[in-house]
């Protein structure tokens, strides 16, 4: 065990040497403390990676900025799960071309799941010659070395190994919140669902040692964090690859035993690996939030088999029944894919019936995998339909909590509304006011429930008023019919932020 610990510490010692060298290099290159702009796309696992990236940059001497304009280093931590996230990355990176030309000393770096795909890395190599550094998910701990090579060498650096290495402990972390923390307990996935890219960009499952997880959890509690989320691409599989296997339920109980006033959450779970022992541990541990995010993806057994999910509808429902038996107050959320290739309208109805039978506590994530012409209304209507269907059931479930007193954590003020409209080039800019939910009607573009949006001129006079889709301002759930209708109504080219 001691020899293994020494091997795990060795990469950190090497990177610490590069960090010390970078202090000298950055001082000579920029004079004052350089500034870094770090932006993360995607899941909580990516956010946790981004916090470690910022921790290493802080040790190198970087300060952080919220704007690209003042940054000496621009780093995008990318996501490969959704096409829209990829499009945003390409657009944002392309916008850096002129900025890089004006400031040759600026370093542009890309990392994350998206870069782990060979086609993406090759596109960056050929079409974005101003990108200086590209590295994958398996070498994040080597950032000091890679940045040193970038600053001191003449060639661009592409470090994209196919194989996942060992887990490196002891990396510095700059967390985004002062009370809520993400605690990775494992990396990678062995499930290979037919629609998912995660095993190819994150590698096979690798669990952290129990002692390392407990040590980090204790340090978080001592630092005053009240909400700790245990992370893993398939967190239920934790410990299966350790020399002495440790069930995730046991890890949960050990973290729960740490003294202090805090709450424990975990994600993401897979129904195949969600056991009764885990549900019993959730029920027994007073610090574990009684919330379970358990994606079902489809309510049809044939579609589940084609997705390679390795459980059936009835097995999922049996888990839910047992979970509610041991935790009557349990809050349930889920993910679902509609329009999966080969899915029929009857299979889609099975998904709706599962949503009805389970009665989820809140809406999860619904996304459309593929357009199938045989669906009434087509692709554009499937996600809104299941969203409305689930939303009505969620309202019913949430109404049961009326009048109850519960403990909660406040994370701060919400984001201010942002304008999402722009006039055609050469015309006065219009702006879209914040959506008002007091007056609901039907969206003229897609028939979905809509909210009033006022279009005003810079002088303050309202010129247009339109009831459009509730999801209009959410880029990932944008309905093309609504967009076309808005363009026709206003003569405005919309830009989604």
Q: How confident is the model at residue 87 (pLDDT cuts 50, 70, 90)?
A: confident
DSSP 273-288: T--HHHHHHHHH-TTB
Residue 252 burial (CB count, 10 A): 24
Mean pLDDT across the stretch 188-204?
A: 92
Q: What pLDDT, on the 0 to 100 scale, is given for residue 488?
A: 44
pTM of the model: 0.76
Residue range 415-449, pLDDT digits in tens: 443 333 333 333 333 333 333 323 333 333 344 44
Q: What pLDDT, on the 0 to 100 scale, is given for residue 398?
A: 58
Q: What pLDDT, on the 0 to 100 scale, is given for residue 360?
A: 84
Contact assessment for residue 89 and residue 54, using Cβ atoms and an 8 Å cutoff: no
Q: Say yes or no to pLDDT of 213 above 90.
A: yes
Residue range 110-149, pLDDT digits in tens: 999 999 999 999 999 999 999 999 999 999 999 999 999 9
| Euclidean distance between the first and the last CA atom of the chain, given in angstroms as a whole number | 50
Give Cα separations from 468 to 69, 156, 171, 441 (angstroms).
34, 46, 47, 8
Q: How confident is the model at residue 338 (pLDDT cuts 50, 70, 90)?
A: confident
Q: What's the CA gap between 280 and 287, in Å, rounded? A: 13
Q: How confident is the model at residue 392 (pLDDT cuts 50, 70, 90)?
A: low
Lowest-pLDDT range of 67-71, 315-319, 425-429: 425-429
More confident residue, 492 or 152: 152
Q: Which are the contacts of 164, defined by CB distance < 8 A and separation ≥ 6?
A: 137, 138, 187, 188, 202, 203, 204, 206
Q: Say yes or no to pLDDT of 454 above 90.
A: no
């Amino acid at each position: 065990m001691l020899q293994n610990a020494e091997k795990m510490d060795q990469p950190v010692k090497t990177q610490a040497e590069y960090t010390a060298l970078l202090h000298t290099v950055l001082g000579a290159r920029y004079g004052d403390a350089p500034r870094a702009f770090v932006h993360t796309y995607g899941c909580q696992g990516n956010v946790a990676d981004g916090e470690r990236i910022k921790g290493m940059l802080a040790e190198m001497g970087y300060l952080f900025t919220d704007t690209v304009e003042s940054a000496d280093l621009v780093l995008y931590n990318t996501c490969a799960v959704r096409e829209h996230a990829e499009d945003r990355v390409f657009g944002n990176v392309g916008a850096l071309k002129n900025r890089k030309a004006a400031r040759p000393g600026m370093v542009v770096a890309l990392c994350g799941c998206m870069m782990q795909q060979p086609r993406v890395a090759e596109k960056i190599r050929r079409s974005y010659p101003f990108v200086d550094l590209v590295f994958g998910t398996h070498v994040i701990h080597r950032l000091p070395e890679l940045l040193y090579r970038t600053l001191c060498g003449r060639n661009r650096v592409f470090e994209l190994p196919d194989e996942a290495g060992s887990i490196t402990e002891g990396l510095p972390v700059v967390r985004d919140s002062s009370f809520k923390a993400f605690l990775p307990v494992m990396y990678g996935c062995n499930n290979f669902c037919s629609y998912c890219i995660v095993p190819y960009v994150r590698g096979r499952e690798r669990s952290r040692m129990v002692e390392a997880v407990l040590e980090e959890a204790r340090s978080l509690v001592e630092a005053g964090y009240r909400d700790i989320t245990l992370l893993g691409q398939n967190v239920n599989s934790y410990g299966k690859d350790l020399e002495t296997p440790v069930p995730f339920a046991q890890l949960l109980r050990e973290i729960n035993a740490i003294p202090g006033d805090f709450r424990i959450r975990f994600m993401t779970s897979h129904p195949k690996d969600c056991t009764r022992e885990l549900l019993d541990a959730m029920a027994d541990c007073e610090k574990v939030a009684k919330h379970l995010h358990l994606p079902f993806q489809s309510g049809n057994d044939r579609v589940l088999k084609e997705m390679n999910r390795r459980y059936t509808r009835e097995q999922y429902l049996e888990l839910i029944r047992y979970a509610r038996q041991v935790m009557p107050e349990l809050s349930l959320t889920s993910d679902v894919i509609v329009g999966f290739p080969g899915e029929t309208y009857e299979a889609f109805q099975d998904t709706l019936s599962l949503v009805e039978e389970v009665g989820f506590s809140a809406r999860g994530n619904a996304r459309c995998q593929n357009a199938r012409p045989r669906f009434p209304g087509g692709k554009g209507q499937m996600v809104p339909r299941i969203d409305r269907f689930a939303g009505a059931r969620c309202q019913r479930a949430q109404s049961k909590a009326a009048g109850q007193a519960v403990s909660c954590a406040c994370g701060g003020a919400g984001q201010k509304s942002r304008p999402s409209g722009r006039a055609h080039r050469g015309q006065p800019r219009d702006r879209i006011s914040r959506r008002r939910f007091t007056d609901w009607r039907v969206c003229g573009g897609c028939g979905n429930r809509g909210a009033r949006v006022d279009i005003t001129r810079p002088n303050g006079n309202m010129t247009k008023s339109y009831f459009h889709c509730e999801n209009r301002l959410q880029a990932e759930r944008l309905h093309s019919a609504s967009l076309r209708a808005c363009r026709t109504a206003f003569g405005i080219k919309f830009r989604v932020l």
